[in-house]
Amino acid sequence: MQKKLLSIAICFLFAAYSNAVNAQSQKSFIIQGFIKGVDSGTINMLSEDGNNILDSAAISKGEFIMQGKIGLPERRLFIISPGTWSFKAFVEDRDISLFIDTSGAQHFGKPGNTWALIWEVQETGSKLSDVYSNFRSETSLKYYAAIFDSLNQRIKKAYGDETDKIKAEMDSINRVATAKQKSWIDNYINQHPSSIAGLYIFNEFYQLNPGLDLLYLQTTINKFSGIAKSSVYYKQLTDAVNQLKGIQQDNIATDFTLLNNNKVKFTLSSTRGYYTIIDFWASWCIPCRKSIPAWKKVYATYYDNGLRMVSVSSDANYSDWIKALNHEQMPWIQLIDKYFNENEPAKVSGLYAVSRLPFYILLGEDGKIILNSNDEKIVIKKIEEIFKE
Residues 107 and 141 in one domain: no
- The pLDDT tens digits for 131-167 are 999 999 999 988 888 887 888 888 777 777 788 788 8
Same-domain status, 261 and 342: yes
Question: pTM for this one?
Answer: 0.73
* Contacts with 223 (C-beta within 8 Å, 6 or more apart), sequence order: 189, 190, 193
Residue percentage of the chain with pLDDT more than 90: 63
- Structural domain span for residue 99: 29-123
pLDDT surpasses 50 at 254: yes
Please compute the mean of the pLDDT values over residues 70-89 and round it to a whole number: 92
146 lies in the same domain as 232: yes
| Mean pLDDT for the chain overall | 88
pLDDT at 22 over 70: no
User: If we measure between CA atoms, which residue out of 103, 98, 102 comes closest to residue 81?
Assistant: 102
Helix axes 141-156, 161-191, angle to 10 degrees: 160
Whether 22 maps to a domain, the answer reads: no
Domain assignment present for 18: no
pLDDT digits (tens, 9 = 90+) for 170-198: 888 888 999 999 999 999 999 999 999 99
Q: Is residue 288 assigned to a domain?
A: yes
Cβ–Cβ under 8 Å, residues 179 and 322:
no
What's 206's DSSP letter?
A: H
Q: Do residues 276 and 299 make contact, with C-beta atoms less than 8 angstroms apart?
A: no
Alpha-helical (H) ranges within 72-126 are: none
